[in-house]
């Protein structure tokens, strides 16, 4: 069944839509601060923020008009949201370890998918209840992250 989507989203509607797609609801203050957050460098130690790459509000129609976001721009942004790729990569590493795939191949794939050493270590530790350190995992598998020399 098809329903007409509104042409714009308010902050509350945007938060609800993000929750529908990503499973986590951002605070209204996080949405308002998204533009400032976007100018900061992203951390490689944590999963992508909910607001990373969020489209800017449409130009206001008056000085007192509430902020509105293009529904088309929001839907395009959510479709390719970095958190979806991160969630997929985390799911894949856990599934591959549960299947008994070669750990070196699993770590190489996780690195190629953009997971940090911290998240790879957490997945390895959760898999077999061993207590590896991030430094230890990096030392053991760092050769998988090395880029081939340029020709």
| Average pLDDT of the residues of the chain | 85
So what's the pLDDT on residue 50?
85
d(CA 25, CA 15): 6
Residue spans per domain, the chain: 8-80, 84-144
Is the pTM above the cut of 0.75?
no
Quick one: what percent of the chain has pLDDT higher than 90?
Answer: 50
d(CA 91, CA 86): 9
3-state secondary structure of 40: coil
Position 2 pLDDT exceeds 50 = no
So what's the pLDDT on residue 93?
95
Q: How confident is residue 33, by pLDDT bands cut at 50, 70 and 90?
A: confident
Q: What is the pLDDT of residues 54-77, one digit of tens each?
A: 898 988 888 888 889 999 999 999
């Amino acid at each position: 069944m098809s329903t007409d989507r509104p042409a714009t989203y308010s902050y509350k509607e945007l938060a609800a839509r993000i929750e529908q797609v990503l499973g986590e609801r951002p605070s209204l203050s996080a949405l308002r601060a998204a533009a400032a957050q976007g100018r900061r460098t992203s951390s490689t130690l944590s999963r992508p923020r909910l607001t990373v790459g969020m489209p800017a509000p449409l130009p206001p129609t008056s000085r007192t008009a509430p902020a509105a976001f293009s529904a088309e721009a929001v839907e395009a942004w959510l479709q390719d949201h970095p958190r979806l790729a991160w969630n997929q990569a985390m799911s894949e590493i856990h599934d591959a370890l549960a299947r008994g795939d070669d750990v070196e191949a699993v770590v190489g794939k996780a690195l190629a998918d953009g997971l940090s050493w911290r998240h790879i270590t957490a997945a390895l530790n959760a898999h077999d209840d061993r207590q590896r350190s991030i430094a230890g995992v990096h030392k053991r598998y760092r050769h998988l992250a090395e880029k081939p020399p340029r020709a």
